[in-house]
Structure 1
Amino acid sequence: MSEQVLDSPQGWVADHIRRYVETDGAEGHEWQPGVFTLLLTTRGRRSGKLRRTALIYGRDGDAYLVVASQGGDPKHPAWYLNLHDEPLVEVQVGAERFTARARTATAEEKPRMWSTMAAIWPAYDEYQAKTDRDIPVVVLERA
């Protein structure tokens, strides 16, 4: 992308993204033992600017799964809200970069996908328990 990309305003996340990008994922793809992250770039729904964050991911066939948990906050994360206006996103997994279409898992898909993600990061169940918001699972499919 030739357009400037703004990284997460959270310092530790921005540091994680910087190392991930600089090393093509050699540092940061495996964030903790057995827990892998991807970089998701969305277009801001109000600013129109490209915004990048790092997210834990899982797989469902060829699709990548991410959870819009925001630690159980009562509001959806900004990156999730951005997907409603522009579902075409850029994804980096390790050194690989590709365009994907993002969608929220259907009610039928979600239980299976949630189980996949909670097996990777059990705190997702805690996050859901502490909020009234239905935390979405997002499916990223290559465009």
Structure 2
Amino acid sequence: MQTITIDWDHPIDPKPGRERDHVQDYVATGGLDGHLWHGVPTLLLTTFDRATGRTARTPLIYSTDADRHIVLAADWGAPEHPAWYRNLTAHPEVRLQVGGAVFQATARTACPAERDVYWPAMAALWPLFDDYRSAAAPREIPLVIITR
């Protein structure tokens, strides 16, 4: 079995625009500028990109439950799963930045019972998630649980 060396310290950021600006401000200020985005908490998720062999960083709205971070692979209601989700299903080891804290974690797709518990909390945090779910149909938006 071949060992993969992952460069977590030099990820690819989103394409130029608001999302990249958000990520760069978040990193530059240690989360002081960017952790709260439109009044909701965001984290930076870094995944191993299965296509390029590099790491890629994405800002996501999150909630917590004990030591777990919960995110949705909504991609604004797109018909396909976002690249970051496809990456973590192939390689579940990820890196998170939550505010100033940066740490390794493991991601997995929630089971149906967990999805029933966490979806309402995520939609209460960001009501547009329900709109994204309608727009994405018939794709089911994955709910992802990330554990340190």
**Smaller-chain TM-score bracket:** over 0.9
Q: Tell me, what secondary structure is at the counterpart of 2:41?
A: strand
Percent of matched pairs sharing the same residue:
45
One of 55, 60, 63 as aligned partner of 2:60 = 55
Q: Tell me, yes or no, if structure 1 residue 102 matches structure 2 residue 104.
A: no
1:134 paired residue number = 140
Return the TM-score normalized by structure 2. 0.92
Match in the other structure for 2:14: 8
Aligned-residue offset at 1:3: 4.4
Q: CA deviation at 1:60?
A: 1.7
- Structure 1 pair 2/48, CA: closer, same or farther in 2 (3 Å)? closer
Note the residue ranges of structure 1 that are not aligned, 5 or more in a row.
Answer: none
* Structure (1/2) with the larger strand percentage: 1
Is the Cα contact below 8 Å between 1:60 and 1:113 reproduced in 2? no
Given the superposition, is the C-alpha separation of residues 2 and 83 from structure 1 closer, same or farther in structure 2, using an over 3 Å criterion? Answer: closer
Runs of 4+ in structure 1 over 4 Å off = none
Which residue in 2 is equivalent to 1:67? Answer: 72
* Matched residues, number: 141
Shift of residue 100, structure 1, vs aligned partner: 0.6
Distance 1:10 1:135 in 2: 25
Please give the root-mean-square deviation of Cα atoms over the aligned residues, in Å.
1.2
Structure 2 portions without partners, runs of 5+? 1-6
Q: 1:121 corresponds to which residue?
A: 126
For 2:114, give the aligned amino acid.
Answer: E
The 2-side partners of 1:18 and 1:10 are apart by 10
**Aligned residue number for residue 51 of structure 2:** 46
